[in-house]
Amino acid sequence: AQKITQTQPGMFVQEKEAVTLDCTYDTSDQSYGLFWYKQPSSGEMIFLIYQGSYDEQNATEGRYSLNFQKARKSANLVISASQLGDSAMYFCAMRESGGSNYKLTFGKGTLLTVNP
Amino acid sequence: DTAVSQTPKYLVTQMGNDKSIKCEQNLGHDTMYWYKQDSKKFLKIMFSYNNKELIINETVPNRFSPKSPDKAHLNLHINSLELGDSAVYFCASSPFDNEQFFGPGTRLTVL
C-alpha cells in the first residue's frame, strides 16, 4: 500500500487565486512528520513546510499553509495568492519514527501550473 | 555558501562503466541520504548514513556502494552501469529528525 498518496497528477490555477494540493498518508506510528517540497523545472528540491504529528496548530510559512487533519490522515498544502513562479512539481513526504531511520517517503507529486 | 553540493551535475556514460557522484554538506548535519528520482519524477530513498554509519539500505543493487569518509561527505559509487540506472540522483542532509536539505541533483544518463 502506498504510504503517501497524491491524487492530483496535475492542477491548474489562475494567478492570484488560492489552490489546495491534496495529500493523504498511511502510518501506524504515533510520531511522524509531514513535509512538502517544491521542485521547479530547474530541478532542485525546495523545502516548503513541515507539520509534526503532535503539533496542535496547522503549520504556516508565508503563503503556504498545511491543512492537517489527523483523523483523516490528510496533510493538504494550501498556496494562497498564486504566483507564476509557483508553477512546479509539488511533493508531499512523510517521515515515520523508528530509531534513527529518518528517511522520507514521497508521494508521486502534483504538477501545478499557474496561469496568467 | 552552498549548503549541500554534488558533483558532477551531469554525467553521461556508457553501459558497463563505473562512475562516482560526490556529495558534501557544510551544515554540520549528522545524517546524509541518497535518493533516486526516476523518469516519472518518483523519488525513492536509496541509502542513509548517520555519523558515517550506514542506517538505511533500501533494496538497492549491490552495484551501488555508498561511502562516507566523514560526516560531511557521502559519495555514491556505481559499478557496471546499466540503462535503468539513468535518473537524477539527489543527495540530502538533515539535522536529527528535521527537514532534509537537498543538493542540486546529478543527472545520470547511461547510453
Best A4, A32, A103 member to test B by mutation, with max B CBs in 10 Å, is A103
Q: A12 pLDDT exceeds 60?
A: yes
Q: A27 pLDDT exceeds 60?
A: yes
pLDDT value for B98: 74
DSSP result, B41-87: --EEEEEEEETTEEEEE-S--TTEEEEEEETTEEEEEE-S--GGG-E
Q: How confident is residue B96, by pLDDT bands cut at 50, 70 and 90? A: low
pLDDT value for B52: 81
Give contacts of A 32-91 with B, CB under 8 A.
33, 35, 37, 39, 43-47, 50, 89, 91
Question: What is the residue-averaged pLDDT of chain A?
Answer: 93
Residue A77's Cα: distance from chain center in Å? Answer: 5
What percent of chain B has pLDDT above 90? 77
Partner residue facing B55 (CB), from A35, A37, A101: A101
Q: How confident is residue B97, by pLDDT bands cut at 50, 70 and 90? A: low
pLDDT value for B75: 96
Q: Could you give the CA distance from residue B42 to residue B37 in angstroms, rounded to a whole number?
A: 5
SS3 label, residue B100: coil
Partner residue facing B31 (CB), from A50, A102, A106: A102
pLDDT tens digits, one per residue of A76-105:
999 999 999 999 999 999 988 765 567 789
- Chain A residue with CA closest to B56: the answer is A101
Whether B105 and A43 lie within 8 Å, measured CB to CB: yes
- A8 lies within 8 A of chain B by CB: no
pLDDT value for A104: 85
| For residues B83-105, average pLDDT | 91
CA distances from A68 to A17, A54, A74, B2, B41 (A): 21, 11, 6, 32, 25
